[in-house]
Structure 1
């Protein structure tokens, strides 16, 4: 069994991004800019945004957080997004999810300019992903693909089971695997007999937030396990969706949780923002 170490790889990617930022500043005087919209007092969201801010600082990005109250109106957030779309110093816009119930999340995601959609949630970028065209890809599934690549895990022709069908992780994860010529199954809350699907899987990718959903009896020998889930136990410990202690004994590769996919998500956000900045710089200089 070998651990898929997202922490080490994310540091490697950060180093490369920082070098590219330095070159960008030297060649065109451009500094990549990321704007984040944070609504409400959700502690997990606030902590995650703070981690993103620190990562931006480490690589030399300009970053700003629009911290908004829980009871903010739809129109107020829309005005902020429009102003960020028009601001040339902002290359990437990120709306931290989830949003309060009074907010139309879909409308806001569609309002972000596709060329600044570094989270890859705009329908334009979703369409380009599904049709295997270049665009911005959601950071978590993109981070998973980078992790597989780093450890020379080729999914071509492999049976890959994606558990979870969210727009943020499950669906784009399946699309990326399909684009890499894998055979893909998507399982979700209404899937009957999950074990029947996982037992035949060469690669299992799970991100639903259910502690110990995947157990030793559900996987075959030498399976590759990508645990995207994050939950907190009663004791306050962060864990994934996989019974790591027992499933790891049968795995060829497995991500720890935390320390696997999580750090890669932020690394890919940096990479996407840098990509947006380079495109923006080319437009300015053309």
Structure 2
């Protein structure tokens, strides 16, 4: 069975507050790959106070932002936490980048010592008072090699037994040799920015494949995706060629 004529619903949470590092590019990457295969992508935006869609979405995306943005959305996120928890338990694919991963975790400790309770979808806690990490990085993950960049001052700790998203194998900002993010079923939390999906078709295809297999459909890249893959490979090549360069500013 083919994705042609299928409609895939992508739900982006809090795009205004948690979308400051090109996170709309992650949604665009998903939609474009689906459309190149003959499918249709319907993108929904959840804003503070909105009702969630009556029907479950196929893919959920939540992006990155400052601590002030987390504070502004956390109340609404707690309101919709039962549904998000149910969706993840049901295997709906979810991508959470940076602060989005933190808010979906159990607890965030701010630099001033304030504790912000997350919603517990991810078994992680985050300390926001770490050293700054700003540079390119490579993560070897269960879905393939992921490249991009990081810019944060956080230390994320997983609960015992929780699975990381992957292992950081390259980077000069102090995270090489450590593990990145977290994975629960088909929900992935990561520090990799870029935005991560346009740079890494293998991760985009993973999320789409997990969504479509819930309908009994198969997914794989086709010749229609060749140009997207070529552009991604060129951008990845630039990152890999400059992997030893740390950023002084972003």
The two structures have a TM-score, normalised by structure 1, of 0.37
Indicate the structure with greater strand content: 2
- Considering Cα pairs closer than 8 Å and 6+ residues apart, tell me whether 1 or 2 has the greater RCO: 1
- TM-score, scaled to structure 2: 0.42
Q: Compare the two structures and name the one with the higher helix fraction.
A: 1
